[in-house]
Structure 1
Amino acid sequence: MIRIAFCTALLFLTQLANAQSAKKPLRVGVVGLVHSHVHGILNKAFRQTGQTDIEIVGIAEPNRELAERFSKQYGYPMSLVYPTIAEMLDKTKPEAATDFGRIVDHKKTVEACAPRGIHVMVEKPLATSFADAKQMEALAKKNNIQLLTNYETTWYGSNHKAYAMADKEKAIGDLRKIVVHDGHQGPKEIGVNKEFLDWLTDPVTNGAGALFDFGCYGANLSTWLMHNQRPLSVMAVTQQIKPDIYPKVDDEGTIILTYPKTQTIIQASWNWPFARKDMEVYGQTGYVFTVDGTRMRIRLKDEKSERNAEATQADAPAADPFAYLAKLIHGETKPDELTSLENNVIVMEILDAARQSAKTGKAVLLKQKL
């Protein structure tokens, strides 16, 4: 009896220890502070009381002045800051790294993290070229790490509800047209900080202007809705409406993707009168529009007019990307298609072709796999 009781107690303590271990925050290293989306993770880690999703164990940022400025703003100690990725990774041993640096540097982050077995989440888009994306994909697969791309729109309940209506419920019939609008008045116009503006408006460090900055959203959502089907062709037109503000890059871009029976139009702009991230999905028998993260407009077969609908945060895979990252790495949720590597390599193929099309004025035909 004593032996049975001892074994039972030991089993209970083991289960309790495992449960407590599973609840430990994900150890995260932040790579770069020059992307303004970094405020999301800094706010969550250092200001959101009671959150147990993540713990920032180190920050790699060579710009000491920028790191000190954010240290004063968020209250983190400067002892967390390291001048290089390698030093931060080796000294702090994070489970995952979140990249808030220049898009062109995403590959360097993967090159540093993958051999160390550290998972990576980068801000959208995945890379500045399709070639870099393929190299990053190979590194991630070779070292068996998660390589995710974060988009704000992944956490919109409206997008997931629209997908469910189109795909699982078949409520609007076969897809015929997808129209995605993304952008704002312009990065300088909305007052992004200098460190962000400097690289965002450089074609080498960002890949393009609005074409990449906001065209990636539509490519990501279209690839998702089309079940990772690559388009047959990519056609893009770009403009410099404000060359005095953005002399090196486009500030207006439109991309047309053709599929066998569907067409996607992506409207990416730094010239919208207001910030927007919305989508129109048309089927043979109805349509569903997303207005923002929750609001929707729907019209189905035999309905005489459209109606409003509401999605909730519960329709999305998680409340925010970092909560999702922690659950994924700890095995508490399944991979999300919008953040997936497979989707985002196709996104980069589309963006690379769009950049080429805008330069040549010709549609780019994508080679189809046999």
Structure 2
Amino acid sequence: MMKHLIKITFLLILLSHQVADASERLKVAVAGLNHDHVFLLLNLYKDKQVDIIGIAEPNQTLSNKIRTQYNLPDAIFYHDLPSLLKQVTPDAVLAYNPTNEHIDVAETCLPLKIPVMVEKPLATTLSDAKRIAHLSKQFETPFLVNYETTWYKSNQKLKELVDNGEVGQITRMLVKDGHEGPKEIGCSDYFLDWLTDPKKNGGGAIMDFGCYGANLMTWLKKGERPISVTAFTQQLKPEVYPKVDDNATIILSYRDGTTGIIQASWAWPYSVKDLQVFGTKAQLYAKNDKELLKYKQQNDPPKPVSTAIPYFEHHIAYLEQVLKDAVPPVNDLGSINNNVIVVEILEAAKRSAKEGKTIVLN
């Protein structure tokens, strides 16, 4: 008898913990499914780390595919975001749609005071970016941007060392981002349809991967805007990407003489996302998400730096903390302030490449 009571008590405790965990999980709605990064969220849902209470996707074929693959209930699917938000009130909306539609998500959610997180970059035009920032401020509601490189412990440790003066004054920043190409690595047709569209994505590799470098450099420079932007773009594979660039180099000049070089490409022989910072004392090199090296003398081998630091594992953990704090971040990698500058840099870069001249920012 006692054994049965103990067993029942244990099961009740376990059930109560499961109910508590479920009630504490972030409840999100999804705007669009045609960005392949949505699978990161869907896998977190599968692992019971987040609750999805609504999905807005006009493409019925795509909706059916995701519904079946992740065993999602029919009742949470809607044709559009306004219809969804009339029925449910999520803790936040996560957008996985074309970049030029981020403004529509902002116009729908922010007046309702529903926080938003979109996939990078913030917008395709500076006017849209500024409008989103205005709405976020007007309705005192966070609008955040998710970058894969935000969750790299190597980048977070590098920033800590830079802020502590380990490299001295920054003189040069170099970022390489990209892969063999979205088609080459097997991105879905739904994703490719808009990722290679100059209006929906705003460009090709210059937008898709140029934003990473602009985001990191603006962060390292503590929100400072460059004074000029110079860029070059190429179509190395015009038969694959006839409408947009697939290779871009962006050079940023800052008032203190710092130079930032962003190399963004869909034509690397391998996938790469690294960051190098050169200063008057040393160089730091974040090779990937975990490895960080420090160089001090020309002939000395680089010294590995531990990146075992506490930081958010993914965008949902970060979003949970932002909502818990009830204070929008000001200058971090996901902040609206940083990301308006990112779009300003990208817009200037596209203009520079098109006109063949350096663009001086006012």
TM-score using structure 2 length: 0.91
* Worse-matched range after superposition: 157-166 or 324-333: 324-333
Aligned to 2:294: 298
The separation in 2 between residues aligned to 1:120 and 1:308, in whole angstroms, is: 37
- Residue 349 of structure 2: SS of its match in structure 1? helix
Aligned to 1:365: 360
Correspondence 1:26 to 2:26: yes
Query: Retained in 2: the 8 A contact 1:281–1:287?
Result: yes
Aligned to 1:158: 154
Q: In the TM superposition, what is the alpha-carbon distance from 1:137 to its structure 2 partner?
A: 0.6
Q: In the TM superposition, what is the alpha-carbon distance from 1:327 to its structure 2 partner?
A: 1.9
Aligned to 2:43: 43
The separation in 1 between residues aligned to 2:63 and 2:184, in whole angstroms, is: 24
Query: Retained in 2: the 8 A contact 1:179–1:266?
Result: yes
- Residue 31 of structure 1 aligns with an amino acid whose one-letter code is A
TM-score using structure 1 length: 0.89
Aligned to 1:321: 315
Query: Retained in 1: the 8 A contact 2:292–2:304?
Result: yes
- 1:57-106 alpha-carbon deviations (Å, 9 max, x no partner): 10000111101101111111121110011011111111210000000000
Gaps of 5+ in 2: 1-19
Correspondence 1:189 to 2:184: yes
Q: In the TM superposition, what is the alpha-carbon distance from 1:315 to its structure 2 partner?
A: 4.1
The separation in 1 between residues aligned to 2:111 and 2:328, in whole angstroms, is: 24
- Residue 253 of structure 1: SS of its match in structure 2? strand
State the identity %: 44
The separation in 1 between residues aligned to 2:171 and 2:177, in whole angstroms, is: 20
Query: Retained in 2: the 8 A contact 1:161–1:315?
Result: no
- Residue 29 of structure 1: SS of its match in structure 2? strand
- Residue 184 of structure 1 aligns with an amino acid whose one-letter code is H
Q: 2:112 aligns with which of 116, 134, 137?
A: 116
Query: Retained in 2: the 8 A contact 1:285–1:301?
Result: no
Aligned to 1:311: 307
Q: In the TM superposition, what is the alpha-carbon distance from 1:249 to its structure 2 partner?
A: 0.1
Aligned to 1:200: 195
Correspondence 1:249 to 2:248: no
Correspondence 1:128 to 2:127: no
- Residue 199 of structure 2: SS of its match in structure 1? helix
- Residue 204 of structure 1: SS of its match in structure 2? coil
Query: Retained in 2: the 8 A contact 1:22–1:330?
Result: no
- Residue 59 of structure 1: SS of its match in structure 2? strand
Query: Retained in 1: the 8 A contact 2:133–2:336?
Result: yes
- Residue 56 of structure 1 aligns with an amino acid whose one-letter code is I
The separation in 2 between residues aligned to 1:124 and 1:219, in whole angstroms, is: 11
- Residue 65 of structure 2 aligns with an amino acid whose one-letter code is R
- Residue 180 of structure 1: SS of its match in structure 2? strand
Q: In the TM superposition, what is the alpha-carbon distance from 1:300 to its structure 2 partner?
A: 2.9
Report 1:318-357 matches (<5 A).
318-331=312-325, 335=329, 337-357=332-352
The separation in 2 between residues aligned to 1:237 and 1:134, in whole angstroms, is: 25
Q: In the TM superposition, what is the alpha-carbon distance from 1:332 to its structure 2 partner?
A: 8.0
The separation in 2 between residues aligned to 1:143 and 1:301, in whole angstroms, is: 51
Q: In the TM superposition, what is the alpha-carbon distance from 1:132 to its structure 2 partner?
A: 0.5
Correspondence 1:75 to 2:95: no
Query: Retained in 2: the 8 A contact 1:327–1:333?
Result: no
- 1:202-243 alpha-carbon deviations (Å, 9 max, x no partner): 000000000000000000000000011000100000000100
- Residue 211 of structure 2: SS of its match in structure 1? helix
The separation in 2 between residues aligned to 1:196 and 1:222, in whole angstroms, is: 27
- Residue 324 of structure 1 aligns with an amino acid whose one-letter code is Y
Correspondence 1:149 to 2:148: no
- 1:35-56 alpha-carbon deviations (Å, 9 max, x no partner): 00000111101x214x3xx311
Query: Retained in 1: the 8 A contact 2:99–2:201?
Result: yes
* Worse-matched range after superposition: 69-78 or 328-337: 328-337
Q: In the TM superposition, what is the alpha-carbon distance from 1:309 to its structure 2 partner?
A: 2.7
- 1:105-163 alpha-carbon deviations (Å, 9 max, x no partner): 00000000011110000000000011110011111111110010000000000001001
The separation in 1 between residues aligned to 2:217 and 2:22, in whole angstroms, is: 35
The separation in 2 between residues aligned to 1:332 and 1:157, in whole angstroms, is: 25
- Residue 24 of structure 2: SS of its match in structure 1? coil
Correspondence 1:275 to 2:278: no
Aligned to 1:218: 213
Gaps of 5+ in 1: 1-19
Corresponding pairs, count: 341
Q: In the TM superposition, what is the alpha-carbon distance from 1:303 to its structure 2 partner?
A: 8.0
Query: Retained in 2: the 8 A contact 1:130–1:345?
Result: yes
Q: In the TM superposition, what is the alpha-carbon distance from 1:310 to its structure 2 partner?
A: 3.5
The separation in 1 between residues aligned to 2:72 and 2:222, in whole angstroms, is: 42
Q: In the TM superposition, what is the alpha-carbon distance from 1:308 to its structure 2 partner?
A: 2.2
Aligned to 2:204: 209
Q: In the TM superposition, what is the alpha-carbon distance from 1:266 to its structure 2 partner?
A: 0.1
Q: 1:58 aligns with which of 54, 57, 62?
A: 54
